[in-house]
């Protein structure tokens, strides 16, 4: 059977409320993050991810207060990300009650941050999030490559998905959270081919993100994409797929879920 697959609702938080967009833009409100967290915890979600998507300095305090409230409210592990640039940020969020931190832009800019977090707090605390987009190369016969992006998908880097994920693992990341920007919010299914390549070449868990639209997409990401966990937002926030119903469906499909 292998390890049980995890279902992870993701809450993007802006100005203290949960928001959801499509392809990283056009945000709309989806409710209070603490209340949504409480609901998902009761429904049987395995973990939660909270991302401070506009982690500007002034909002840090708001977000930390929210993390404290979440920790007092739910009894499942949760990861927080957004604006984490140094060990002091990690310490602040862990002290507020988070179980893990997710780093993205800061790790691309300064990969040593992964080593530092793994050394100080343990690999299990360090989730490296990778936002990547499949981009065609200039030459007509060129293959498309998966380019990594910074700043919430706004800035393309020289790094490519597979080599960067491998380096993150070598530096001590405990998990990779891969979001396909091409699939984000489109609800046409996850990037299963890329996920399978990640899962089959790395030894740490791969969390799939971007593309969930129906229960079958979750089945496919586990069977075809070999993902260890599937993360989604809008299908949960707007009540399209209740977590208990999804888990029951996956069990019926022969997938080991908690």
User: DSSP assignment of 88-105, as one string?
Assistant: HHHHHHHHTT-SEEEESH
For the question of residue 115 being annotated catalytic, the response is no
Q: Which of 12, 46, 220, 228 is an active site residue?
A: 12
> Is residue 131 annotated as a catalytic residue, yes or no?
yes
Nearest to 47 by CA among 230, 201, 213, 217: 230
Does position 55 have pLDDT exceeding 80, yes or no? no
Q: In degrees to the nearest 10, what's the CA dihedral of 51, 207, 210, 148?
A: 80
- pLDDT reading at 181 higher than 70: yes
Q: Quick one: DSSP state of residue 142?
A: P
- The band of 23, judged by pLDDT with boundaries at 50, 70 and 90, is low
Predicted TM-score (pTM) of the model is 0.93
Distance of alpha carbon 75 from alpha carbon 85, whole angstroms: 27
User: In 3D, which of 19, 6, 91 has the Cα closest to residue 51?
Assistant: 19
Query: Which entry of 46, 131, 184, 228 is annotated as an active-site residue?
Result: 131
């Amino acid at each position: 059977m292998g390890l049980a697959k995890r279902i992870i609702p993701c809450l993007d938080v802006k100005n203290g409320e949960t928001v959801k967009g499509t392809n990283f833009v056009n945000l709309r409100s989806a409710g209070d993050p603490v209340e949504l967290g409480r609901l998902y915890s009761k429904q049987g979600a395995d973990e939660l991810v909270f991302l401070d998507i506009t982690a500007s300095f002034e909002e840090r305090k708001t977000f930390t207060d929210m993390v404290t409230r979440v920790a007092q409210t739910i009894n499942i592990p949760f990861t927080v990300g957004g604006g984490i640039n140094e060990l002091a940020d990690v310490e602040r969020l862990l002290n507020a009650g988070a179980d893990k931190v997710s780093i993205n832009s800061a790790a691309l800019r300064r990969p040593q941050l992964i080593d530092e977090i793994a050394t100080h707090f343990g690999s299990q605390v360090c989730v490296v999030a990778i936002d990547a987009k499949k981009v065609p190369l200039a030459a007509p016969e060129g293959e498309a490559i998966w380019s990594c992006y910074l700043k919430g998908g706004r800035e393309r880097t020289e790094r490519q998905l597979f080599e960067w994920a491998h380096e993150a693992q070598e530096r001590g990341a405990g998990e990779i959270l891969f979001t396909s920007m091409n699939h984000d919010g489109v609800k046409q299914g996850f990037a299963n081919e890329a996920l399978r390549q990640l899962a089959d070449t790395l030894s740490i868990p791969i969390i799939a993100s971007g593309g969930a639209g129906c229960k079958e997409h979750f089945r496919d990401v586990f069977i075809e994409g070999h993902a260890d966990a599937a993360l989604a937002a809008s299908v949960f926030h707007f009540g399209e797929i209740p977590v208990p119903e999804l888990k029951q469906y996956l069990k019926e499909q022969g997938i080991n879920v908690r």
